[in-house]
A and B are shown apart, each in its own frame.
Chain A
């Protein structure tokens, strides 16, 4: 079952602006559909889960305010070519986990501001492009205070003649000592005409930090495809299995919606 079917089954009118669902892990999740403007505030010590669904070629600006010691989970899904900008403002001791799945030519921009000590952010994103689409995910994490942790992993798969792009920036201010920031970009180009450009960047002004970044762009592993075919899988199945394996940790980073997001991924793979 895909995400849209799932939400409908949960009583959400897809033409409406959303509602509340009880997710597979029993958490209450606020569902927001195609917002042009969205403001979400999580009060001190409170916790919240939000699923934002973008199905249209539209623009969307979202602001997430996470107050001290509050916790926010965001699942951000793009099934239509959307221009989106998200700003996450995290105060001291807050936690924010973002899972982002982009299966269409969307341009998605995340900016995370660490505005207090000991905040932590984890962002996992996958973008998939096909045909002649252009798809971009940008992530900027600003470590403005000390002792914050951020971990971004963005994966890209481009097929056909499509073009994918990742732009990453970790900024560490002079006072942001003991920052622990990781940024990773992993990409697969399917076929000779697909293209992925990745640009991970670090800008560090503090001296006591742990920061790392990495980026790879590759093709499917031909040895693995040979191995799977030797066991009787067709080349198509072997390729698909490998892409599913590549994307899996991202879609399942949302414990609440892992299965339905995996189905969205399947649907994408069927059409390439």
Chain B
């Protein structure tokens, strides 16, 4: 589904990604861990198409297409979803209106008719239940005045609405209390199936108790330096990164 080869990217002439290689197949869950500043969020941003970053080398294929030459919105319409680490507040734009446009743009891209108002409302109700998001929030402006937990639940709600093929969740667990973490993680797990794939970027093993990864990758200084199974996350939680990154220190 996703094939990243030797991906290098920079921001403001500072090289952040230095040759990422990663294969993600349908049905898989990948966790990306690593110390702060290793390039995890940059990887997510580059995949989404954030124009702030410049790809300096390498290739990314998504569903047999060259992802890097597509604009942000086309990547999204094809089924790439980025759960933002810091979801943005958009004053005056209601969640309902925003989601209606997003869902219908995606349908248009696939050559489908827009949803009727009734179908859309039913979908909103059904999907907001998955993350226990108060349905009143969908009448409010996007993320405006939402608590930290509500913002993250709202990300997963949007993921549920858009039914992406590949979800990249950038530190969706940061800033969540125990209950919100459980709700968000359970939501992600419920949305996972054999046809889609999930990449979770996280600092904590906690999240991976719910979202059980097939692979755990350690990103350091812009490269994946180690890949293991779910037990790697447990080891990292206990022992930290030192045993892995010592060889790479300058």
Residues of A within 8 A of B (CB): 221, 223-224, 226-235, 237, 241-242, 244-249
With most chain B CB atoms within 10 A of its CB, the pick from A223, A244, A249 is A223
- Could you say which residues of chain B place their CB within 8 Å of the CB of A237? 101, 105
A247 to chain B: closest CB distance in Å?
A: 8
Contact residues in A for B135 (Cβ distance below 8 Å):
none
Report the separation of the CA atoms of residues A249 and B90 in the bound assembly, to the nearest whole angstrom: 14
Given known pairs A233-B73, A235-B73, A241-B98, the reply for A228 and B90 (CB within 8 Å) is yes
Query: CA of A241 to CA of B102 in the docked complex: distance in angstroms?
Result: 12
Given A245-B92, A245-B141, 5 more contacts at CB 8 Å?
A230-B49, A232-B162, A233-B105, A237-B101, A241-B101
> Are B93 and A231 in contact (CB-based, < 8 A)?
no
CB neighbours of A224 from chain B (8 A): 88-90
Check: B72 CB closer than 8 A to any chain A CB: yes
Q: Return chain B residues, CB-CB under 8 Å to A246.
A: 91-92
Which residues of chain B have C-beta atoms less than 8 A from A231's C-beta? 76, 98-99, 102, 158, 162
Interface size on B, residues (CB 8 A): 29
5 closest A-B pairs (Cβ-Cβ)? A245-B92, A231-B102, A245-B93, A227-B88, A232-B76
Residues of A within 8 A of B90 (CB): 221, 224, 227-228, 241-242, 245
Interface residues of B (CB under 8 A from A): 48-50, 71-73, 76-77, 81-82, 84, 87-93, 97-99, 101-102, 105-106, 109, 141, 158, 162
Closest A residue by C-beta to B104: A232
Contact partner of A248 among B72, B76, B92, CB < 8 A? B92
Contact A232 B88 (CB under 8 A): no
Residues of A near B158 (CB, < 8 A) are 231
**Contact at A230–B162, with CB atoms within 8 Å?**
no
Say whether, besides A221-B88, A224-B90, A237-B105, A230 and B98 are in contact (CB < 8 Å): no
| Docked complex Cα distance between A224 and B84 (Å) | 11
Complex CA–CA separation, A56 to B48 (angstroms)? 48
Q: How far is the CB of B9 from chain A (nearest CB, A)?
A: 16
- Are A229 and B93 also in contact (CB < 8 A) when A234-B105, A237-B101 are? no
Contact of A223 among B81, B88, B98, B105 (CB under 8 A): B88
B106–A232 CB distance below 8 A: yes
Interfacial chain A residues near B141, Cβ < 8 Å: 245
| Also in contact, A232 and B105, with CB within 8 A (given A226-B50, A227-B84, A245-B141) | yes
Q: List 13 A-B contacts (CB under 8 A).
A: A221-B88, A229-B72, A230-B49, A230-B72, A230-B73, A230-B81, A230-B84, A232-B73, A232-B105, A232-B106, A232-B162, A235-B73, A245-B141
Q: How far is it, in angstroms, between the C-alpha of A242 and the C-alpha of B98 when the chains are bound?
A: 10
Residues in B with CB closer than 8 Å to A249 are: 92
The chain B residue with its CB closest to the CB of A241 is: B93
| Chain B residues within 8 Å of A235, by CB | 73
Known contacts: A224-B88, A228-B90, A249-B92. The answer to whether A233 contacts B102 by CB under 8 A is yes
**Beta-carbon nearest neighbor of B109 in chain A:** A232
